[in-house]
Amino acid sequence: MSRPYINEELRRLISERADHLCEYCLIHEEDTFLGCQVDHIVSVKHGGSTESDNLAYACAFCNRYKGSDLGSVLLPNRELIRFFDPRHNRWSHHFQLSELMILPLTLVGEVTAKILEFNNDDRCLERQFLITINRYPTAAALRQMER
Protein backbone atom coordinates (compact mmCIF):
# COMPACT_ATOMS: atom_id res chain seq x y z
CA MET A 1 0.00 0.00 0.00
CA SER A 2 1.47 3.34 -0.98
CA ARG A 3 1.62 6.19 1.51
CA PRO A 4 -1.00 8.87 0.93
CA TYR A 5 0.33 12.19 -0.28
CA ILE A 6 -0.01 15.07 2.16
CA ASN A 7 0.59 18.33 0.35
CA GLU A 8 2.47 21.28 1.85
CA GLU A 9 -0.70 23.29 2.47
CA LEU A 10 -2.26 20.46 4.49
CA ARG A 11 1.02 19.90 6.40
CA ARG A 12 1.12 23.60 7.28
CA LEU A 13 -2.53 23.53 8.43
CA ILE A 14 -1.88 20.54 10.71
CA SER A 15 1.32 22.07 12.14
CA GLU A 16 -0.26 25.46 12.78
CA ARG A 17 -3.44 23.98 14.27
CA ALA A 18 -1.21 22.10 16.75
CA ASP A 19 0.84 25.23 17.59
CA HIS A 20 3.85 23.26 16.28
CA LEU A 21 3.52 20.79 19.19
CA CYS A 22 3.28 17.04 19.17
CA GLU A 23 -0.40 16.59 19.97
CA TYR A 24 0.40 13.49 22.03
CA CYS A 25 3.37 14.41 24.29
CA LEU A 26 3.25 18.22 23.76
CA ILE A 27 6.92 18.63 22.85
CA HIS A 28 7.58 21.54 20.46
CA GLU A 29 8.84 20.59 17.02
CA GLU A 30 11.96 22.75 17.52
CA ASP A 31 12.85 20.89 20.71
CA THR A 32 13.02 17.39 19.32
CA PHE A 33 15.93 16.29 17.18
CA LEU A 34 13.78 14.59 14.55
CA GLY A 35 11.01 17.22 14.47
CA CYS A 36 7.34 16.40 13.99
CA GLN A 37 5.37 14.56 11.34
CA VAL A 38 1.77 14.34 10.21
CA ASP A 39 0.09 11.27 11.73
CA HIS A 40 -3.06 9.53 10.57
CA ILE A 41 -5.10 9.11 13.78
CA VAL A 42 -6.94 6.23 12.12
CA SER A 43 -4.41 4.80 9.71
CA VAL A 44 -5.15 4.42 6.03
CA LYS A 45 -4.98 0.62 6.35
CA HIS A 46 -7.87 0.84 8.83
CA GLY A 47 -9.91 3.06 6.50
CA GLY A 48 -8.75 6.43 7.78
CA SER A 49 -8.75 9.36 5.40
CA THR A 50 -6.06 11.88 4.58
CA GLU A 51 -8.22 14.81 5.66
CA SER A 52 -7.53 17.32 8.41
CA ASP A 53 -10.03 15.79 10.85
CA ASN A 54 -8.07 12.51 10.80
CA LEU A 55 -4.60 14.03 10.98
CA ALA A 56 -2.52 15.00 14.00
CA TYR A 57 0.92 16.50 14.47
CA ALA A 58 3.21 14.01 16.18
CA CYS A 59 6.86 13.96 17.15
CA ALA A 60 8.86 11.21 15.49
CA PHE A 61 8.86 9.11 18.68
CA CYS A 62 5.09 9.25 19.24
CA ASN A 63 4.45 8.62 15.56
CA ARG A 64 6.85 5.67 15.44
CA TYR A 65 5.53 4.04 18.62
CA LYS A 66 1.90 4.53 17.56
CA GLY A 67 2.43 3.24 14.05
CA SER A 68 -0.85 2.18 12.49
CA ASP A 69 -2.29 0.99 15.82
CA LEU A 70 -5.67 2.27 17.01
CA GLY A 71 -5.29 1.11 20.61
CA SER A 72 -3.94 -1.70 22.73
CA VAL A 73 -4.84 -4.27 25.33
CA LEU A 74 -4.55 -3.49 29.02
CA LEU A 75 -3.76 -6.37 31.30
CA PRO A 76 -4.88 -8.16 33.38
CA ASN A 77 -8.42 -7.81 31.98
CA ARG A 78 -7.25 -8.00 28.35
CA GLU A 79 -9.55 -5.11 27.57
CA LEU A 80 -9.02 -3.41 24.21
CA ILE A 81 -8.72 0.35 24.77
CA ARG A 82 -8.45 2.94 22.00
CA PHE A 83 -5.73 5.58 21.90
CA PHE A 84 -6.14 9.26 22.71
CA ASP A 85 -7.55 11.10 19.67
CA PRO A 86 -6.37 14.72 19.46
CA ARG A 87 -9.29 15.68 17.21
CA HIS A 88 -12.01 14.44 19.55
CA ASN A 89 -10.47 14.33 23.04
CA ARG A 90 -9.09 16.94 25.41
CA TRP A 91 -5.50 16.30 26.46
CA SER A 92 -6.21 17.43 30.02
CA HIS A 93 -9.02 14.89 30.41
CA HIS A 94 -6.63 12.00 29.76
CA PHE A 95 -3.22 13.22 30.96
CA GLN A 96 -1.58 15.35 33.60
CA LEU A 97 1.92 16.75 33.52
CA SER A 98 3.74 16.15 36.81
CA GLU A 99 7.20 17.66 36.50
CA LEU A 100 8.80 15.55 33.76
CA MET A 101 6.24 12.72 33.80
CA ILE A 102 3.08 12.57 31.72
CA LEU A 103 0.60 10.79 33.98
CA PRO A 104 -2.49 9.05 32.60
CA LEU A 105 -5.85 9.96 34.13
CA THR A 106 -8.03 7.50 32.19
CA LEU A 107 -7.73 4.09 30.56
CA VAL A 108 -7.37 5.88 27.22
CA GLY A 109 -4.52 7.89 28.73
CA GLU A 110 -2.97 4.79 30.26
CA VAL A 111 -2.87 2.80 27.05
CA THR A 112 -1.66 5.80 25.04
CA ALA A 113 1.11 6.62 27.53
CA LYS A 114 2.17 2.97 27.63
CA ILE A 115 2.36 2.32 23.89
CA LEU A 116 3.73 5.75 22.93
CA GLU A 117 6.29 5.34 25.76
CA PHE A 118 5.74 8.85 27.11
CA ASN A 119 7.76 8.14 30.23
CA ASN A 120 10.62 5.97 29.03
CA ASP A 121 14.05 7.01 30.31
CA ASP A 122 15.18 8.80 27.14
CA ARG A 123 12.00 10.81 26.80
CA CYS A 124 12.05 11.80 30.48
CA LEU A 125 15.70 12.88 30.15
CA GLU A 126 14.75 14.96 27.12
CA ARG A 127 11.92 16.63 29.04
CA GLN A 128 14.12 17.15 32.09
CA PHE A 129 16.68 18.99 29.96
CA LEU A 130 13.94 21.08 28.31
CA ILE A 131 12.49 21.94 31.72
CA THR A 132 15.89 23.21 32.91
CA ILE A 133 16.13 25.60 29.96
CA ASN A 134 12.45 26.65 30.26
CA ARG A 135 11.39 24.98 26.99
CA TYR A 136 8.93 22.44 28.41
CA PRO A 137 6.14 22.89 28.73
CA THR A 138 5.96 25.78 26.30
CA ALA A 139 3.23 28.42 26.54
CA ALA A 140 1.44 26.64 23.69
CA ALA A 141 1.63 23.35 25.61
CA LEU A 142 0.21 25.01 28.72
CA ARG A 143 -2.71 26.33 26.63
CA GLN A 144 -3.27 22.81 25.26
CA MET A 145 -3.31 21.37 28.78
CA GLU A 146 -5.97 23.90 29.80
CA ARG A 147 -8.33 22.99 26.95
Question: Over the chain (147 residues), what is each successive 10-residue block's mean pLDDT?
Answer: 81 97 97 94 96 97 97 92 97 95 98 98 96 92 82
> In the prediction, which pLDDT does 5 show?
84
- Residue at 109 is within a domain: yes
Residues 6+ apart with CB under 8 A from 131: 99, 100
Percent of the residues in the chain that have a pLDDT greater than 90, as a whole number: 85
- Residue at 2 is within a domain: no
Structural domain that includes position 18 = 8-142
C-alpha distances (whole Å) from 73 to each of 26, 69, 82, 111 are 24, 11, 9, 8
- Residue at 3 is within a domain: no
Long-range contacts of 121-124 (CB under 8 A, 24+ apart): 123/25, 123/61, 124/100
C-alpha distances (whole Å) from 78 to each of 28, 55, 83 are 34, 28, 15
C-alpha distances (whole Å) from 20 to each of 52, 89, 93, 105 are 15, 18, 21, 24
**What's the pLDDT tens digit per position in 29-65?**
999 989 999 999 999 999 999 999 999 999 999 999 9
- Residue at 50 is within a domain: yes
Number of domains in the chain: 1
> In the prediction, which pLDDT does 13 show?
98
Average pLDDT, the chain: 94
- Residue at 147 is within a domain: no
Question: Are the C-beta atoms of residues 35 and 60 closer than 8 Å to each other?
Answer: yes
> In the prediction, which pLDDT does 47 show?
95
- Residue at 72 is within a domain: yes
> In the prediction, which pLDDT does 21 show?
97
